[in-house]
Amino acid sequence: MTENQTNQFKDYLTRAKRPLGGFFSNLRTGVGFQILLILAVILYLCYRFLFAYVEPGEYGIKVVRVGMARGVQKEVYHAGLTFVLPFGLQRMYRLPKGIQVLELTNFPETAAGGARKDRAAHIQTSDGFFVDVDVSMLYHIKDPYLVFTTIGPGKLYEDNGIIPKAEPALKETLGKLTTEEFYNSPLRVKKAEEAKDNLNRELNLKGIEVDQVLVRYFRYSPEIQKNIEAKKLQDQMVFTNQAAARAAKEEAQLKKIVQEGMVIAAVEIETGKAYVTRKIAEKDLYVRKIKANADLLVKLSEAEQVRLKNEALKGIGSDRMVGLKMAQAYKGLDLIILPSDGAHGVNPLDLSNTLKLFDVRQGGDN
């Protein structure tokens, strides 16, 4: 920045400070405060009459009463400020965005805080008895434009929307139950779901959707209640006896199965023992058979040995062998007395005669 530009910038700041100095000077004298007050009042009036604030939990529906586009505007406004002409020319209506609760109960102190309360649903059962049913209905506005145009603004979605439809829908579905079936929780819940579906078929056309129908409590007249409770106790005793009988039957069946199992186990054990005994006998038989065969082979071998030996003794030179054996036999004798004369006389010195005597040589052949 040049020196000339610097001087120009300082002159500009000096000129700018003069109005501010005058303003703060007037403020000290009270004139500036009055101006601020007037501006604040103007801003408040503009906010009050020219803008409408839609909170985060609300829908905004604008209605225009003058101009070409007069009537209910289809645009749905959400949280924030929206320009609205004053003096009734335009108006912003608000509808709740969150879950709403309708409590049908004869005990308002048990109802949820902030919920719309109405009397309990008085329903006649299919067998002709009456019962008061406490019900909580949870619902929300699904289409605010449709609600506004078919039902109306404000709380009319309650007064002309869900409340007139709630009890008839419950009577139509829960009224199909008998006195005893009211104590059947799954069946009761099923009928409550049917009531929700019936309500949605009607209320969806008006922009309302029912999320839950919860049966919290129901009560008959004291006399009927007493009779029902007594009958329920009797039914419970019957069920208890039936359960005890089934348990005894199952226990007997269990004992039978255990006994049959023990018998089967004993039979199998004896079968196993018989199998072991049979196998041992087969083993012993096999051993004896093999041993007998071995003994037979030994005996046959010994017999063959004797036969072969005999054959050998009958061959050439056998007489010499016998003579040698006889000589060995005679070798150990000190004295032999034999007849020396006659037909059977023995001369030990006559070897030929000796061999003939023992049938070693026939006829004295060499």
* CATH of span 100-220: 3.30.479.30
User: Burial of 243 by CB count in 10 Å (0-12 exposed, 13-18 middle, 19+ buried)?
Assistant: exposed
CA 16 to chain centre: 80
> What are 261-301's pLDDT values in tens digits?
899 999 999 999 899 999 999 999 999 999 999 988 998 88
Q: Does residue 214 register a pLDDT over 60?
A: yes
pLDDT digits (tens, 9 = 90+) for 30-71: 666 778 888 877 777 766 667 888 999 999 999 998 878 889
User: How many angstroms separate the first and last alpha carbons of the chain?
Assistant: 170
> β-strand 100-104 against 116-118: which pairing, if any?
parallel
CB atoms within 10 A of CB 192: 21
Map tokens 């006994």 to a residue: 259
For residues 168 and 198, the answer to whether their CB atoms sit within 8 Å is: no
Q: How far apart are CA 354 and CA 196, in angstroms?
A: 143
Angle between helices 185-203 and 163-174 (to 10 degrees): 140
Q: Which amino acid belongs to residue 125?
A: T
What SS3 class is residue 76? strand
Residue-by-residue DSSP string for 240-271? HHHHHHHHHHHHHHHHHHHHHHHHHHHHHHHH
Q: Which of 132, 135, 149 is nearest to 61 (CA)?
A: 149
> 164-182: per-residue pLDDT in tens?
999 999 999 999 998 888 8
pTM of the shown model: 0.54
